[in-house]
Amino acid sequence: MPQISQKGLAMPESPIRKLMPYADLATKAGKKIHFLNIGQPDINTPDVALDAVKNHNLKILSYSPSQGFESYLNKLSNYYKKKQIPLQPDEILITTGGSEALLFAMGCITDPGDEIIIPEPFYANYNGFATASGVHVRAVESKLEDDFALPPIAEFEKLITEKTKAILICNPGNPTGYLYTQDEIEQLADLALKHDLFILADEVYREFAYDGVKHYSIMQVERLAEHAIMIDSVSKRYSMCGARIGCIASKNKDLMVNAMKFAQARLSPPTFAQIAAEAALDTEDDYFDEVIAEYVDRRNTLVEGLKSIKGVKVAVPKGAFYCTVELPVEDTEDFAKWLLSEFEVNGETIMVAPAAGFYSTPYTGMKQIRIAYVLEKETLLKAIHILKLALQSYLN
């Protein structure tokens, strides 16, 4: 029988999606599931984006340029400049989601066997992208009791070897919701320059910054011009996860020349989705004012409710729409399966994402879960009630 590659065998399952078979069985059994496991917002996509697709006048659905439509690149450049991120159109390359942008970045800056340092917990698919690229992840653990703030720079420096090519951060963070301060970004910049490393910053949740705190982009650090790579996406910003439009951006010309080779190899990003994404840039600012106010209310509801449950610890997120929670159980994957297969409250249960999959260090995060507060407040209150009763039942 033909053999599957070691790379294929090593690819990790998604902690966000791996329990879907249990959810499918629960649904078939008649249970109603409140999905807290996945960052799929219930916020409406801006009408201007949907209308642009509905009202198109295309006669042929053809390829776009490999870099993306020029009109979109120009408009995106103007958007970034309004955010004090000075990017020219030729410093941006449109990708099929932020995922492809991350794969392009790893493909351009690493060779098989190289290393990337990432603060953990981190977006689970970073493990998958690293595996696909033959890259080793070296993790620096951040702590729940610190709300998952940036670990001491000395801890990063301990891990740097001749194989280290980059430090990867998500800002604001998935799964923690932590928003890095300007001082933390500057510390990372100093380290990158000292050791001649790239800083790869996943900034897809940029708009979602709370409590009066402003997002500070890696691209705003002028001295990092040759070292900074930004990953972005419209998925969460405009509640357009299905559009699959992102970008990779850098002032490093050599990097962008080589990223274009990857872009040409996959031909082009999707046409209709670019039309929608370009139109979405015309979204009025009050859209975000309302969305952010809604997420802050949901966050406060969730955090307050979780803190009222005995034995539960929670880090308070400052951005994005995720919360990492520690439960008084030994194995949250077992608990998550049990929630779907054996527990219900009046025919309803919840689905959560076990957090071990957001770590690369084995047997870390076993007591933690990620909750995405992308459901309306009333549903969150119901989910908190279900979790409280579930813990009481599971532990007895």
Q: What is the pLDDT of residues 47-73, one digit of tens each?
A: 999 999 999 999 999 999 999 999 999
Instruction: Please state the rounded mean pLDDT for residues 362-373.
Output: 96
Once rounded to an integer, what is the mean pLDDT over residues 369-395? 97
Tokens of 127: 């493990």
Model confidence over 80-139: pLDDT tens digits? 999 999 999 999 999 999 999 999 999 999 999 999 999 999 999 999 999 999 999 999
228, 197 in Cβ contact below 8 A?
no
pTM of the model: 0.96
304 Cβ partners below 8 Å, 6+ apart? none
Interval 291-304: pLDDT, tens: 999 999 999 999 99
pLDDT grade, residue 205 (50/70/90)? Answer: very high
Distances (CA, A) of 75 to 61, 68, 78, 285: 22, 12, 5, 16
How much is the pLDDT for 18? 86
> Within a 10 A sphere around the Cβ of 384, how many other Cβ atoms?
21
What average pLDDT does range 261-269 have in this prediction?
98
Give the chain's domains with CATH numbers.
6-44+286-394 (3.90.1150.10), 47-280 (3.40.640.10)
**Model confidence at 394, in pLDDT bands (50, 70, 90)?**
very high
pLDDT score, position 128 = 94
Containing 199, the helix (H) or strand (E) segment is: strand 198-202
Distance CA 265, CA 271 (A): 17
Average pLDDT of the residues in 28-37: 96
**Overall residue count recorded for the chain in this entry:** 396
Asked whether the predicted pLDDT for residue 222 surpasses 90, the reply is yes
Positive or negative: CA dihedral 252, 94, 68, 214: negative
- For residue 313, which of 304, 323, 326 has the smallest C-alpha distance? 326
Nearest CA-CA partner of 95 in 280, 274, 289: 274
Beta strands in the chain (DSSP E): 32-35, 92-95, 115-120, 136-141, 164-170, 198-202, 228-233, 246-249, 313-314, 322-326, 348-351, 353-354, 368-372
C-beta of residue 330 within 8 angstroms of C-beta of residue 322: no
Q: Can you give the pLDDT at residue 14?
A: 84
SS3 266: coil
pLDDT at 17: 82
